[in-house]
Amino acid sequence: MIKVGIVGGTGYTGVELLRLLALHPKVSVEVVTSRAEKGLRVDAVYPSLRGFNGLSFVEPVAENLMSCDVVFFATPNATAMHMAKTLLAAEVKLIDLSADFRLKDVEIWEEWYGAKHVCPELLEQTVYGLPEIHREAIKSALLVANPGCYPTATQLGFLPLITADVIETSMMIADAKSGVSGAGRSASVVGLMSESGESFKAYGVPGHRHLPEITQELNLQSSSPVSLTFTPHLVPMIRGIHATLYAPLKKTGVDLQRVFEEFYANEPFVDVLPAGAHPDTGDIRGTNRCQLAVHQPQGGRVVTVLSVIDNLVKGASGQAIHNMNIMFGLDEKAGLDQVGLYP
């Protein structure tokens, strides 16, 4: 059994890891940390885990994690980097769900995240954990940077078009909407029901910190520089991301449906819907799946891609477990065979 530690077990992504790993056939969760809930039983804080997890929360220090085979950091940004070197030296594999290791350029990271990076030397050896692109590198990785939720939905929608070289990469647009769980579990005015209910708004329009992550990764796959306008929105639902993506086509007459179906033919967690379909966030809720649909409105020169994921699963904890499965040579779908919740 793979011995797992989870740092930050009381946030949404931490408890989602606990939910998904509870039925994983090859995993034993050994350590769950929380500074605020230290000493309390996990199933006392989250009664949904009664009968599945009898551990108590412990202090988030490296000494408590040394016996693990892999540690997930479900923590705020600028947290994992403080323990990474110590745990790696103890031959513990790391999967970081925060942004600490996603960007290769430390100056760009410090500009967008407003902190000093304490171990920039680890950035080069980090593998970006989008399995559909970096599967081979993930297999031998010691440190995986789990992608952000918006970047996951956006990249999966654009990648077939970029690799097929059928779009003008200088005029790409991502219009993305997220449920309120994307903001985390900490109390904030924006997350209040009276603030977010019956309301809809954009945010981060001048610049959102997921933008450099998306452009970094798309540029690696593109033959020409990527210029992306990215606008996130908050919608009054709990889970889900819907990204509507636009780009000008280099030429008409391309079988876009075939481009997508061939690109994702062997991917267990990407579902290309039939031509003319409109994916719904409700259909993938609770699953590690991304559903995609590609359209060419009025047969014109602009392609429209619809991409939906559950931000807490495919956009965070489920993708992290997918990465773990690859790192340890397990069946990629182990622990991740959930059917979507409906209604």
Determine the Cα–Cα distance for residues 262 and 254; give it in Å rounded to an integer: 13
**Residue tagged active-site, from 68, 119, 149, 290:** 149
| Bridge-based pairing state of the strands 27-33 and 127-128 | unpaired
CB-neighbour burial class of residue 201 (10 A; exposed 0-12, middle 13-18, buried 19+): exposed
Sheet of 127-128: strand order equals 27-33, 2-7, 70-73, 93-96, 143-145, 127-128
Determine the Cα–Cα distance for residues 154 and 28; give it in Å rounded to an integer: 33
Determine the Cα–Cα distance for residues 296 and 286; give it in Å rounded to an integer: 30
* Residue 191 to residues 9, 47, 199, 320, Cα–Cα distance (Å): 20, 23, 12, 25
290 is catalytic: no
> In sequence order, which residues have a C-beta less than 8 Å from that of residue 267 and are 6 or more positions away?
132
Report which of 173, 136, 141 is spatially closest to residue 157, judged by C-alpha positions. 173
Buried b (16+ CB within 10 A) or exposed e, 102-111: bbbeeeebee
Residue 86, Cβ neighbours under 10 Å: how many?
14
Active site amino acids: 149
